[in-house]
Amino acid sequence: MPSVDVTDMSEEEVEAEAEELERQTNERREMTQEELDLESIMSQDDCESERLRDVNVGRTIAYIYKSVSLGKKVAQHRLFIEEYDPDDDTIKGYSCSKFSLEVHGYDDDMGSPTIRVTGRRNIDRTVLPPQ
């Protein structure tokens, strides 16, 4: 939190500065409920984690964090973009673009995880000249 020297300010200026600091604080992104659940699970002594891989693409696609004492688990899914080569019409790879969180009960079945693709990007093989 930034500090402000209020010794030479009027009462109105101090109030205006306080309101501005409060507005800036409220504009900061608050944690989602899913993020709070993940944080609470990870702080538990009985926290277990599991890495899920998709063998077809050779990538880690999710992490599962769970706690018996809280009766919850959170799946942190990776969201990928396909790296596409238009020259030979093939997918050359995947890059992780962001994450999503899903909260479940500890014993809930989450089904069989699969890779989550959110977009496609053409591979650019342009070689730039030296500068």
DSSP 26-80: HHSPPPPHHHHHHHHHHTSTT-EEEEEEETTTTEEEEEEEEETTTTEEEEEEEEE
Give the CA dihedral 108, 109, 110, 113, nearest 10 degrees.
Answer: 150
Residue 1 has pLDDT above 80, yes or no: no
For 8, residues 6+ apart whose C-beta sits below 8 A from its C-beta are none
pTM exceeds 0.75 for this model: no
> What's the token pair of residue 22?
């409060």
User: Residue 43 pLDDT more than 80?
Assistant: yes
* Residue 68 and residue 104 in contact, taking contact as beta carbons nearer than 8 Å: no
Give pLDDT tens digits for 76-101.
Answer: 999 999 999 988 999 998 889 899 99
CA distances from 46 to 38, 49, 52, 66, 98 (A): 13, 10, 20, 8, 27
Distance CA 17, CA 12 (A): 9
Token pair belonging to 32 = 């989602």
